[in-house]
Structure 1
Amino acid sequence: MIRIGIVDDHAIVRTGLKQFLSDQVDLRVTGEAGNGKEALDLVRQGEVDVLIMDLSMPDQSGVDALAAIKAREPDLPVLILSGFPEAHYATTLLKQGASGYLNKECDPEDIITAIQTVHRGRKYITPAVAELLADTLGGDANKQPHEELSDREFQVFLRLAKGETVGNIADSMSLSVKTVSTYRTRVMEKMKLASNSDLTYYALKNGLIQ
């Protein structure tokens, strides 16, 4: 029996997914969460073998939540089920510790296969994501600027793009203001952008925020 935790800020999505998974003899939903903090609480309880998580959440992004979860439970498989297309986040999140990435438009049976795959300790890679990963191995020619960022820089970039201040980011990520300011400078240099407004425009244009 594989114990599943579902993290999504929409109750209707959690209910639908729970109903679908309950029809599978080897799967059981043992916990739900509506935001990143609740997701971490769910992980702390230790009742979950695989976590299915959305990226869009009210208190923090799925990117931040993934980092916090993997810091606490590095061996827990986290399967991202997102409304964002694979091209926007998949390769970045796989590099940051996600065990698989599925778009919410996927065939429901793919979710079952993905859960079983990541529970065995393997990565679940769709053909679309495999192609993206192959492109990154082929060289840096087609890399997007945000793909050059480190994990921490990417987290700071998303928060800045959403309009958070350096002070708020420092508090949320338990970092000093000076450290966050350093990350901001690196982000600007790597992405060749000049202002927070530029970051927001870039993130919206590339579908990284809604």
Structure 2
Amino acid sequence: MKQSILILDPQFLTRNGLFHLLYNIDGLELDMKEKLEEVNDPSTYTIIITDYLEPYTSKEKVDFRDKFLPNYAEKLLIISSDTDKQRIKSIITSGAKGYLTKDCDPDEILSAVEMISKGNRFYCNRVLEMLSHIDGNDPNNCEPADLSKREMEVLQLIAKGYRTADIAEELFISIHTVNSHRKNILKKLRLKTPTQLVAYALEIGLVSSE
């Protein structure tokens, strides 16, 4: 089954650059739009690649935030130059599946498309650094942090204070599998301790601090 990809951006070079990057990948069906108003039915696309700043007028930014984002966040791969932590956090906590900076190289974009098409989330480490401010991460590192759906579930339960045995019971997996997921999550996010995992989960809004 083909994955339908929409590239939504007003800039000719950006649209066509992304189109040609993805053009030769088997199983992808590509479409390009210049404006949000040209998108008739967003639900027909598997992934929508866009930047919430660049494509939109002031009115379109409001429409994107209030209508488009809440309804289609699970389809969104954001590629943006934005450095505002609160805006980035807002986009991610609204449910956007992926977020890359415009400094990420083509391999990161291809990896993001692949991961999101499988139902996983994908954030580059520069975005995670801006969100978490955890010591030890390199803010210039833009390698992917591709947490699977299961890893996100484990992370959420860890952040809620579940013990390993409780997580295993909740997700119907073995304790060994939980520990493996925990190690993989720490490695992918470049963190060292469960405390840092909890801090990260709170920062991106995966769990509430209340």
Give the TM-score taking structure 2 as reference length. 0.54
Q: Within the alignment, does 1:126 sit opposite 2:127 as a pair? A: no
The whole-number CA distance in structure 1 between the counterparts of 2:89 and 2:116 is 16
The whole-number CA distance in structure 2 between the counterparts of 1:134 and 1:5 is 30
How does 1:73-112 map onto structure 2 within 5 Å? 73=72, 76-85=74-83, 87=85, 89-112=87-110
| 8 A contact 1:36–1:62 mirrored in 2 | no
1:109-152 alpha-carbon deviations (Å, 9 max, x no partner): 1111111112222211222223344349639xxx9xxx9xxxxx
| Structure 1 partner of 2:13 | 12
Give the TM-score taking structure 1 as reference length. 0.54
The whole-number CA distance in structure 2 between the counterparts of 1:33 and 1:92 is 24
| Structure 2 partner of 1:65 | 64
| Structure 2 partner of 1:160 | none
SS in 1 for 2:110: helix
The whole-number CA distance in structure 1 between the counterparts of 2:101 and 2:22 is 17
CA-based RMSD: 2.9
Q: Within the alignment, does 1:138 sit opposite 2:199 as a pair? A: yes
| Structure 1 partner of 2:162 | none
| Structure 2 partner of 1:33 | 33
Quote the sequence identity (%): 23
1:57-89 alpha-carbon deviations (Å, 9 max, x no partner): 243455741542244446x42011112237463
The whole-number CA distance in structure 2 between the counterparts of 1:66 and 1:124 is 21
The whole-number CA distance in structure 1 between the counterparts of 2:60 and 2:86 is 14
The whole-number CA distance in structure 1 between the counterparts of 2:87 and 2:80 is 9
| Structure 1 partner of 2:186 | none
Q: Within the alignment, does 1:3 sit opposite 2:4 as a pair? A: yes
| Structure 2 partner of 1:190 | none
The whole-number CA distance in structure 2 between the counterparts of 1:49 and 1:78 is 9
SS in 2 for 1:97: coil
Alignment CA distance shift 1:21-1:67 (3 Å): farther
| 8 A contact 1:63–1:93 mirrored in 2 | no
Quote the offset at 1:108 in angstroms: 0.7
| Structure 2 partner of 1:196 | none
The whole-number CA distance in structure 2 between the counterparts of 1:58 and 1:125 is 23
| 8 A contact 1:8–1:54 mirrored in 2 | yes
Quote the offset at 1:4 in angstroms: 0.4
SS in 1 for 2:45: coil
1:29-51 alpha-carbon deviations (Å, 9 max, x no partner): 1x222222224x241xx431100
Paired AA for residue 52 in structure 1: I
Q: Number of paired residues?
A: 136
SS in 2 for 1:138: helix
| Structure 1 partner of 2:195 | none
